[in-house]
Homo-oligomer: A and B are copies of this chain.
Amino acid sequence: MVSGITKDAMYEIINFIVKSIDLIEDYSKENMINLLITARKENKRVFVIGAGRSGLIARAFAMRLLHLGFNVYVIGETILPRASPGDILLAISGSGRTKLVVAAAEAAKGALMKVVAITTYPDSPLGRMADIVVRIPGRTKMAVEEDYISRQILGIHEPLAPLGTLFEDTTLIFLDGIIVELMNRLGVTEEELMNRHANIE
């Protein structure tokens, strides 16, 4: 059994995610899932982007979308086709201000793509540009005074988990939940996922 500070921090993260389930707006999840299902039916592409650890979470989601049969791409990797109107950009940024991500969202709007923002701050540059905003609580790298929701979740004590950890981990679990709902709605079995899993890696 894990003990010590590692255990305390794990519980802090888990409690944060549990409370986030109550705070994430269900209609935003619904909108996101519907947009993705339509994209798959109409053979649109999904592009994902994020900087730092948010970028890794974006890629983890992209891998599962690939297994689900989506045409999905990671901005910054070698194989990056041209985006067309109606393609989707899924952009992850806790602060909603990460330059790289905001620039990609601007380019996406210019290319008439649909932008889904996953952010703690709907009123950020990224959030304001997005067609769909999914608000995920988080204690991002932004100034503490803006950090109302996270304080509310965490209570009065200082959080243990540093920087964007709470946002990033919550986002991963949320997106993995989305994958299960997509499997269900699209009628894709785990065996089919497996059959799309890379065999040369």
Which chain A residues have a beta carbon within 8 Å of chain B's beta carbons? 1-11, 13-14, 17-18, 21-26, 29, 33, 47, 51-53, 56-57, 59-60, 62-64, 66-67, 72-83, 89, 98-100, 103-104, 107-108, 111, 113, 141, 160-163, 165, 168-169, 172-174, 176-181, 183-184, 190, 193-201
Could you tell me the distance in whole angstroms from the C-beta of A118 to the nearest C-beta in chain B?
A: 13
The residues of B that contact A199 with a CB separation of less than 8 Å are 82-83, 107, 111
Q: Is the CB of B78 within 8 A of A63?
A: yes
Minimum CB–CB distance for A87 against chain B, Å: 9
Q: Which of B1, B21, B64 contacts A26 (CB 8 A)?
A: B1
User: In whole angstroms, how far apart are the Cα atoms of A80 and B73 in the complex?
Assistant: 10
* A58 CB, min distance to chain B CBs, angstroms: 9
Q: Does A196 lie within 8 Å of B14, measured CB to CB?
A: no
Q: List 30 A-B contacts (CB under 8 A).
A: A1-B21, A2-B29, A2-B177, A4-B29, A5-B180, A5-B181, A6-B174, A6-B177, A6-B180, A7-B177, A9-B176, A9-B179, A13-B176, A14-B14, A14-B173, A47-B200, A52-B63, A56-B56, A62-B78, A73-B79, A74-B77, A74-B79, A75-B200, A81-B198, A83-B200, A107-B199, A161-B176, A163-B193, A169-B172, A172-B172
